[in-house]
Amino acid sequence: MLDILLARWQQGHRTISFPKGQPAVPDRFRGVPVVDQSKCPVGCRDCVVACPTDAITIDARGLRLDLGRCLFCTDCVEACPEQAIRYTQDFRLAARKREDLVLNGESLKLAEALDKKMRRLFGRSLKLRQVSAGGCNGCEADVNVLSTVVFDLGRFGIQMVASPRHADGLLITGPVTENMRLALKKAYDAVPAPKVVIAVGACAIAGGPYINHPEQHNGADSVVPVDLYIPGCPPHPLTILDGLLRLLGRLEVGRPRA
C-alpha cells in the first residue's frame, strides 16, 4: 500500500489546466491552416489537384479552404511550389455553422454558445450518447481519451451515457454509412427534446475520405440537424474539448492565433 501511495505521489497532478492554462501541443500538431494568397502564382492549381477530398477550390475571390472536408494530410503543403499554405498549432477549430468552416482569406469564426435557455439546461450538466456511424475508430478513440485523467471531461459536467434516452444530445462520428442511417435517425428520435447534435471529424461533417461514395451519406447533417461541427481527421482531444466548452458558453468567443 505504501508503494502505491509513493508511486502516486511521484506521478504528481496529471490533469491539464485547460481552459485556465494554455495547453502544450506536439511540434508536429496540425491546427488551423493559414493561406498566404499573395504567394499563390497566377493560374497555379497544384494544391487543388493534390487535395484528396476537394477541400481546396479556387474562385473569383481566390483560394477557398473547407475545413469540414480537410483531412489535415499536408498534401497541399507539399504540392505548393511557393509554400503559401502552412498549418499552425492552433487547436481551436469548432464552428456552429457548416459555412463557417469555409475559409477564404478570413479568420475562422469560432463556435458561439447555445442560447440562454439551452445554456441554462445544459451549461452545467451535459449527457451525450456517442454514435459511431461507420467511423474508422480514430475520432472515437480521441473522444474516449477525454474521459482519461489527463482531460477529465467529467469535471466540466459533461458525460458520455449508454442510452440516447438518458442523453441530452448525440455526438456523432463517421460518415453515416447506409447501414447506420436508420440507426442514427432512431437514436436522434430517442433523445428527449430539447437536444443538441455534435459532428466530430471530417467524416461526420462531410464524408471525409469517403466523400460522395454511394454507400455513405457525407456526414451527420444529411440525416439530423447539427449544432456543432468539430473538424479534424481525427480532431485532437483538445479540439473536441474546446468545441464542447464553447458550445456551453464556458469559453470566450475569440479569433484563433495565426
Q: Which of 96-110, 128-142, 178-192, 217-231 has the lowest mean pLDDT?
A: 96-110
**CATH classification at residue 160:** 3.40.50.12280
- Cβ atoms of 235 and 201 closer than 8 Å: yes
φ, ψ of residue 144 to 5 degrees: the values are -65, -35
Tell me whether residue 217 is in a domain: yes
Q: Which domain holds residue 151?
A: 116-247
CA–CA distance, 177 with 216 (Å, rounded to integer): 4
Considering the chain, what is the average pLDDT of its residues? 92
Tell me how many domains the chain contains: 1
Contacts of 228 (CB under 8 A, 6+ apart): 94, 95, 96, 111, 196, 197, 198, 199, 243, 244, 247
Tell me whether residue 88 is in a domain: no
How does pLDDT run across 196-243, given as a tens digit for each residue?
999 999 999 999 999 999 999 999 999 999 999 999 999 999 999 999
Tell me whether residue 105 is in a domain: no
- Strands 102-103 and 62-66 come out as antiparallel
Tell me whether residue 257 is in a domain: no
The CB density around residue 192, as the number of other CB atoms within 10 Å, is 11
Tell me whether residue 225 is in a domain: yes
Contacts of 122 (CB under 8 A, 6+ apart): 114, 168, 169, 196, 248
Contacts of 10 (CB under 8 A, 6+ apart): none
Tell me whether residue 129 is in a domain: yes
pLDDT given at position 180: 97
How does pLDDT run across 6-24, given as a tens digit for each residue?
776 776 767 998 998 888 8
Identify the helix (H) or strand (E) that includes residue 57: strand 56-59
Residue 256 clears pLDDT 50, i.e. is over it: no
Highest mean pLDDT among 51-65, 93-107, 227-241: 227-241
The three grid cell numbers given for residue 31, joined into one nine-digit string: 491546427
Identify the three-state secondary structure at position 208: helix
Q: Is 60 exposed, middle or buried (0-12, 13-18, 19+ CB in 10 A)?
A: exposed
Please give the DSSP secondary-structure letter assigned to residue 113.
P
Tell me whether residue 18 is in a domain: no
> Who wins on pLDDT, 7 or 145?
145
Residue 253 clears pLDDT 80, i.e. is over it: no
Short-list 179, 186, 188, 193, CA closest to 226: 188
What number is the average pLDDT over the span 117-136?
95
Tell me whether residue 64 is in a domain: no
Angle, helix 138-145 to helix 237-247, in steps of 10 degrees: 70
